[in-house]
C-alpha cells in the first residue's frame, strides 16, 4: 500500500514537472540525490567526490523526465541513468584504476611475507573496496546493486536489462573472483 | 565462506568509506549548465577555427615577406637572373628607339614627297609657257592680218612663230596661215578676190 502511494506520489511529481513546475523537479532531486550519490560513489570505487556525476545524472533526468512513462519506479529510472553515467565516467579512469589495483596486490603480498597478522581493520576494508573496484564492470555493478544498494533481483534485472538467471550467474562469478582476491582476509 | 559473509564484508567496507558529499542541484543550476555547455560547444570550435585562420594568415605573410634565409648559391643565381633581365631590358629599349627613329624618318620622307608632289614639273611648265607664247604670237598675227589688214606684218609674225617654236602645234597653225596667205596672193594675182576662209583657232 505504501509502495503504491509512493508510486502515485512520484507520478504526481513528474506530472507537475511536465506542466512546468520546477519545484517538482527539485523535490525529486531532494528525494533521490543521496541514493544516486551513494550508488555513483560505489560504482566509481568510493572516490569520495561524485558531485560531477550526480550533476550529470540530474541534468540528464531534467531533459529525460518528460519522456518518463512510469513503467518502472523513478528510483530505478534514476539508477539506470547513474549506471550509464558511471560507465562513461569510469571508462576514462580505467587504466589508472587497474594500475592502482596491481600496486595494492603487491603491497598485500609484502605484508604477508612479513608475517604480520593484522586484524580486519580499515586498511583491510579499503582493500575489499579496491577488490570490488577492480572487478569487471558487469560483476562490479551486480555486487554494488545487490549487496550494497540492496536492490531486489527484479529491480536489478530491469535496471541492467538482463534476465534473473544472467544476474545470478554474474553474481556467482563476482563472488568467486572476490574470494580469489580476498581469500586471506576472509579466512581471518 | 558463503554468500552472506562476502555480502557482510562488502557492506562493512562500504560503510567505512562514508557518505559521499554532493551538492543539491536546482533547475536554475541545470539551465545554467546547459547554457554553459552550449556556449562551450560553439565557442571552442569557433575559437579553434579562428586560431587556425590567424595561423594560416601569419604563415602566408611570413612566406611572402621573408621565408627562409637565401643561400649564397641562390643569391648568385638571383643576381644572374637580374643581370639577364637588365640586358634584355636594355636590348628592348634599344630596339624601341630604333623603331621610333625609323618611324620618324618615314614620316619625314612622306612629308617631303607630299611637298615635292605639290611642286609642278618645270619641263611641263616650260612647255606650257612655250605653248602659250606661240598661241599669243599666232593670235596677234591673225589680228594683224584680219582686222588691221597688215598682211606683211602678219606673215612676219607667222614666220617668227615657226622659227621660234618649230615643233609646237602653233607653228603648224602658222604654216597653215602662211600657206593660205600665199594661196590668196596667187588667187589675187589671178583676178580673184575674196576673204580668207579660215577662222582663228580658239584655245
Q: What is the pLDDT of residue A117?
A: 47
Q: Give the residue-averaged pLDDT of A60-72.
A: 86
Task: Please judge whether A147 and B7 are an interchain contact, meaning their C-beta atoms are less than 8 angstroms apart.
Answer: yes
Q: What is the pLDDT of residue B105?
A: 93
What tens digit of pLDDT does each residue of A3-29 get? 667 777 888 888 888 888 888 888 888
Contact at 8 Å (CB) between A44 and B20? no
- State the first-to-last Cα distance of chain A, in angstroms, to the nearest integer: 44
Question: What is the rounded CA–CA span in Å between residue B142 and residue A12?
Answer: 153
Task: Please judge whether B34 and A126 are an interchain contact, meaning their C-beta atoms are less than 8 angstroms apart.
Answer: no
Chain B residue with the nearest C-alpha to that of A40 = B20
Residue A91 has pLDDT above 80, yes or no: no
Nearest to B24 among A29, A50, A125 (CB): A29
Q: Which residues of B touch A22 (CB under 8 A)?
A: 26-28
Question: What is the rounded CA–CA span in Å between residue A118 and residue B78?
Answer: 85
**Average pLDDT taken over every residue of chain A:** 81
Q: Model confidence at A113, in pLDDT bands (50, 70, 90)?
A: very low
Q: What is the pLDDT of residue B201?
A: 52
Q: What is the pTM of this model?
A: 0.52
How close, in Å, is residue A39 to chain B by CA atoms?
10
Cα–Cα–Cα angle for B157, B160, B163, rounded to 5 degrees: 155
Question: What is the rounded CA–CA span in Å between residue A61 and residue A74?
Answer: 10
CA distances from A6 to A2, A3, A152 (A): 6, 5, 17
Contact at 8 Å (CB) between B174 and B161? yes
Q: Give the residue-averaged pLDDT of A145-163.
A: 90
Task: Please judge whether A128 and B33 are an interchain contact, meaning their C-beta atoms are less than 8 angstroms apart.
Answer: no
Q: What is the pLDDT of residue B67?
A: 58
- C-alpha cell, A142: 551486480
Q: What is the pLDDT of residue B203?
A: 45
Contact of A128 with chain B, judged by CB distance below 8 Å, is answered with yes
Q: Which residues of A touch B17 (CB under 8 A)?
A: 41, 46, 48, 129
Q: What averages of pLDDT result for each successive group of 10 residues across chain B (203 residues)?
A: 80 83 79 80 84 86 69 85 91 91 91 84 85 91 88 90 90 91 84 54 49
Residue A92 main-chain phi, psi, to 5 deg: -70, -20
Q: What is the pLDDT of residue B158?
A: 92
Q: What is the pLDDT of residue A120?
A: 52
DSSP string, A22-74: HHHHHHHHHHHHHHHHHHHHHHTTS-S--HHHHHHHHHHHHHHGGG--SSS-H
Residue with cell 569557433: B46
Structural domains present in chain A:
1-98 (1.10.1740.10), 124-188 (1.10.10.10)
- C-alpha cell, B111: 612629308
Contact at 8 Å (CB) between A25 and A50? no
Nearest to B14 among A33, A42, A58 (CB): A42
How close, in Å, is residue A188 to chain B by CA atoms?
11
Q: Which residues of A touch B5 (CB under 8 A)?
A: 186
How close, in Å, is residue B44 to chain A by CA atoms?
21
Q: What percent of chain A has pLDDT over 90?
A: 20
Q: String of b and e for A35-71 (b: at least 16 CB within 10 Å)?
A: ebbbbbbbbbbbbeebeebbbbbbbbbbeebeebeee
Amino acid at each position: 500500500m505504501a509502495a503504491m502511494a509512493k508510486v502515485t506520489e512520484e507520478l504526481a511529481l513528474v506530472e507537475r514537472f511536465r506542466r512546468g513546475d520546477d519545484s517538482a523537479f527539485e523535490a525529486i532531486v531532494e528525494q533521490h540525490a543521496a541514493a544516486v550519490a551513494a550508488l555513483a560513489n560505489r560504482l566509481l570505487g568510493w572516490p569520495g567526490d561524485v558531485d560531477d556525476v550526480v550533476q550529470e545524472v540530474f541534468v540528464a533526468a531534467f531533459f529525460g523526465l518528460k519522456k518518463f512513462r512510469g513503467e518502472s519506479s523513478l528510483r530505478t529510472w534514476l539508477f539506470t541513468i547513474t549506471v550509464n553515467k558511471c560507465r562513461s565516467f569510469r571508462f576514462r579512469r580505467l587504466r589508472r584504476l587497474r594500475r592502482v589495483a596491481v600496486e595494492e596486490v603487491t603491497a598485500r603480498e609484502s605484508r604477508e611475507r612479513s608475517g604480520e597478522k593484522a586484524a580486519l581493520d580499515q586498511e583491510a576494508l579499503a582493500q575489499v573496496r579496491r577488490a570490488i573496484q577492480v572487478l569487471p564492470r558487469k560483476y562490479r555493478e551486480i555486487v554494488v546493486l545487490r549487496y550494497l544498494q540492496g536492490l531486489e533481483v527484479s529491480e536489478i534485472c530491469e535496471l541492467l536489462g538482463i534476465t534473473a538467471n544472467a544476474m545470478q550467474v554474474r553474481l556467482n562469478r563476482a563472488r568467486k573472483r572476490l574470494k580469489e582476491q580476498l581469500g586471506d582476509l576472509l579466512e581471518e | 565462506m558463503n554468500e552472506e559473509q562476502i555480502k557482510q564484508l562488502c557492506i562493512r567496507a562500504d560503510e567505512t568509506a562514508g557518505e559521499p558529499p554532493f551538492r543539491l542541484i536546482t533547475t536554475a543550476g541545470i539551465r545554467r549548465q546547459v547554457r554553459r555547455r552550449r556556449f562551450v560547444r560553439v565557442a571552442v570550435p569557433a575559437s579553434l577555427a579562428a586560431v587556425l585562420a590567424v595561423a594560416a594568415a601569419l604563415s602566408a605573410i611570413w612566406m611572402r615577406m621573408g621565408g627562409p634565409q637565401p643561400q649564397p648559391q641562390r643569391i648568385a643565381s638571383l643576381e644572374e637572373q637580374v643581370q639577364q633581365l637588365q640586358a634584355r631590358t636594355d636590348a628592348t629599349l634599344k630596339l624601341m628607339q630604333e623603331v621610333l627613329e625609323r618611324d620618324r624618318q618615314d614620316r619625314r620622307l612622306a612629308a617631303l614627297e607630299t611637298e615635292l608632289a605639290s611642286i609642278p614639273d618645270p619641263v611641263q611648265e616650260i612647255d606650257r609657257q612655250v605653248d602659250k607664247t606661240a598661241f599669243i604670237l599666232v593670235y596677234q598675227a591673225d589680228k594683224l592680218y584680219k582686222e588691221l589688214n597688215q598682211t606683211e606684218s602678219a606673215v612676219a609674225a607667222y614666220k617668227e612663230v615657226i622659227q621660234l617654236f618649230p615643233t609646237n602645234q602653233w607653228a603648224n597653225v602658222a604654216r597653215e596661215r602662211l600657206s593660205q596667205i600665199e594661196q590668196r596672193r596667187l588667187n589675187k594675182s589671178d583676178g580673184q578676190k575674196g576673204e580668207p576662209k579660215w577662222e582663228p583657232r580658239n584655245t
